[in-house]
């Protein structure tokens, strides 16, 4: 095996959730590995900031909870570059927290729309294009919550578990078409999403509030560490590249050893 198999030179990669966190890190890593990018997010300001961090790319403001918006995203990718080789469904939220008995319908609908339907729409739109091409790699982002079943995160956990099984079904349907579909289930990663509870009114992070959470999550890792967005982006790069050409329907777990399912 050559290290060149880990490069994605000239591949067209669509990345949702690209305005921050894991999505932004994925965009940067794929760009450094040679990809041409289509960056998607609802946050147009920070999406433009990510655009400045990469080489060849376009930005397409997208609401992944809307099927038409995701369809338009893929249409623009094909219109601009002529194809889609990689689809990284990274966008997600961590709403609808608290005990199951306290979650109202609006909060549940919101997290289902973004975390589950949003990934479904991304898989659906990409699979149509990639199936016609007879090639492509789709990477979905789940969470270590699919193994840990954490109390207080029912909405988040069940949407991410749905992403994991969706990945396997899509792999079964995509395989005969030459399309691989895999999943990444990160452990605790320091991102704007996980920092949400420690933010001040002006948007800055209160380290005194954030550090106890980081310390708690670090102690759950057998490596005694928490993750960085780039740790997940590197796993996504592997699944996007030809180095993983014999892998489909699988869930990679870069989680520091916090969960080790058989």
In a domain, 260, yes or no: no
* pLDDT score of 204 more than 70: yes
Same domain assignment for residues 212 and 162? no
pLDDT band at 205 (very low <50, low <70, confident <90, very high): confident
In a domain, 258, yes or no: no
59-84: pLDDT as tens digits: 999 999 999 999 999 999 999 999 99
In a domain, 10, yes or no: yes
Q: What tokens appear for 92 in the block? A: 């997600």
In a domain, 257, yes or no: no
Same domain assignment for residues 156 and 212? no
Same domain assignment for residues 12 and 49? yes
Same domain assignment for residues 100 and 120? yes
The side-by-side arrangement of strands in the sheet containing 179-184 is: 57-61, 36-41, 12-16, 86-89, 136-141, 179-184, 251-252
141-195: pLDDT as tens digits: 999 999 988 899 999 999 999 999 999 999 999 999 999 999 999 999 988 888 8
Same domain assignment for residues 196 and 244? no
In a domain, 83, yes or no: yes
Q: What is the pLDDT of residue 201?
A: 81
How far, in Å, CA of 155 to CA of 95, rounded?
A: 8
In a domain, 261, yes or no: no
Q: What tokens appear for 1 in the block? A: 């095996």
Q: Which residues pair with 86 in a beta bridge?
A: 13, 137
- Give the total number of structural domains in the chain: 2
* pLDDT score of 206 more than 90: no
The pTM of the whole model exceeds 0.75:
yes
In a domain, 77, yes or no: yes
Same domain assignment for residues 205 and 217? yes
Same domain assignment for residues 217 and 130? no
Same domain assignment for residues 93 and 212? no
Same domain assignment for residues 215 and 160? no
* pLDDT score of 1 more than 80: no
Same domain assignment for residues 100 and 125? yes
Same domain assignment for residues 198 and 170? no
Q: What tokens appear for 105 in the block? A: 């319908």
In three-state form (DSSP H/G/I as H, E/B as E, the rest C), the secondary structure along the chain is CCHHHHCCCCCEEEEECCCCHHHHHHHHHHHHCCCEEEEEECCHHHHHHHHCCCCCEEEEECCCCCHHHHHHHHHHHHHHHCCCCEEEECCCCCCCCECHHHCCHHHHHHHHHHHHHHHHHHHHHHHHHHHHHCCEEEEEECCCHHHHCCCCEHHHHHHHHHHHHHHHHHHHHHHHHCEEEEEECCCCECCCCCCHHHECCCCCECHHHHHHHHHHHHHCCCCCCCECHHHHHHHHHHHHCHHHCCCCCCEECCCCCCCCCC
Same domain assignment for residues 206 and 126? no
In a domain, 262, yes or no: no
Rounded to a whole number of angstroms, the distance between the first and last alpha carbons of the chain is: 28
Q: What tokens appear for 219 in the block? A: 């102690």
Low-confidence winner among 115-119, 149-153, 238-242 (lowest mean pLDDT) = 149-153
- What residues are labeled active site? 156
How far, in Å, CA of 22 to CA of 91, rounded?
A: 9
- CA nearest to 156, candidates 185, 192, 125, 182: 185
| Domain residue limits at 47 | 3-189+228-252
Q: Which residues pair with 104 in a beta bridge?
A: none
Q: State the sign of the Cα–Cα–Cα–Cα dihedral 162, 165, 250, 171.
A: negative
- CA nearest to 177, candidates 137, 139, 132, 140: 132
Which CATH number belongs to the domain containing residue 179 in this structure? 3.40.50.720
């Amino acid at each position: 095996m050559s290290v060149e198999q880990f490069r994605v030179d000239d591949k067209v990669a669509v990345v949702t959730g690209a305005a921050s966190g894991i999505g932004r890190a994925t965009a940067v890593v794929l760009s450094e590995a040679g990809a041409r990018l289509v960056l998607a997010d609802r946050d147009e300001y920070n999406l433009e900031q990510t655009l400045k961090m990469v080489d060849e790319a376009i930005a397409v403001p997208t609401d992944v909870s809307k099927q038409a918006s995701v369809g338009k995203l893929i249409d623009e990718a094909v219109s601009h570059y002529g194809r889609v080789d990689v689809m990284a469904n990274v966008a997600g939220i961590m709403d609808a927290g608290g005990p199951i008995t306290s979650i109202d319908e609006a909060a549940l609908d919101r997290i289902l729309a973004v975390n589950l339907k949003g990934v479904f729409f991304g898989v659906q739109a990409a699979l149509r294009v990639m199936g016609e091409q007879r090639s492509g790699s789709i990477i979905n982002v789940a969470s270590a919550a699919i193994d840990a079943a954490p109390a207080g995160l029912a909405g988040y956990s069940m949407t991410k578990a749905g992403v994991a099984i969706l990945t396997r079904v899509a792999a079964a349907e995509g395989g005969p078409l030459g399309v691989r579909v895999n999943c990444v289930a990160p452990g605790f990663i320091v991102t704007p999403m996980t920092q949400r509870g420690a933010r001040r009114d002006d948007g800055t992070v209160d380290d005194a509030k954030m550090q106890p959470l980081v310390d708690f999550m670090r102690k759950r890792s057998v490596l005694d560490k928490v993750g960085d967005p780039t740790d997940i982006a590197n796993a996504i790069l592997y699944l996007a590249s030809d180095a993983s050409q014999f892998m489909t329907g699988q869930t990679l777990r870069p989680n520091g050893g916090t969960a080790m399912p058989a």
